[in-house]
Amino acid sequence: DTEVTQTPKHLVMGMTNKKSLKCEQHMGHRAMYWYKQKAKKPPELMFVYSYEKLSINESVPSRFSPECPNSSLLNLHLHALQPEDSALYLCASSPRTDNYGYTFGSGTRLTVV
């Protein structure tokens, strides 16, 4: 299995809703990432997990809450989002011990109404 699987593919949520994005990989990668991509822009790093521990938070607002329950799963919990948070949310993973690039998932397209 050489894929990163993200669910759901599309999500529409209201500003008072709570929802979660899910990411799963079975490649044995020990680093997992959340990126946010606005239209016609490159991805921007949000969080990095290394060996299931949060190692980087790029000053992301607390309405985004990441969680790494085990080495294969990464969640992003969403609460009280704003319309400007609408974007493509990409999960990625990489082997922790080398520098050979990420494997990205296909993303969750989030719309906040």
Partner 1 sequence: GDSVTQMEGPVTLSEEAFLTINCTYTATGYPSLFWYVQYPGEGLQLLLKATKADDKGSNKGFEATYRKETTSFHLEKGSVQVSDSAVYFCALSVVDSSYKLIFGSGTRLLVRP
In sequence order, the β-bridge partners of residue 111 are: 12
Report the alpha-carbon distance of residue 37 to residue 56 in Å, rounded. 18
Nearer to partner 1, 52 or 80 (CB): 52
Binding mask 22-61 for partner 1 (x = CB under 8 A): ---------x--------xxxx-x--x-x----xx-----
Closer residue to partner 1 in complex, CB, 50/72: 50
Distance, in Å, from the CA atom of 39 to the CA atom of 72, rounded to the nearest integer, reads: 28
Question: Per-residue DSSP letters for 65-94?
Answer: EEEEEETTEEEEEEES--GGG-EEEEEEEE
Closest to partner 1 by CB, 9 or 18:
9
Residue numbers of the site for partner 1 (CB under 8 A)? Answer: 6, 31, 40-43, 45, 48, 50, 55-56, 88, 90, 92, 94, 96, 99-107, 109
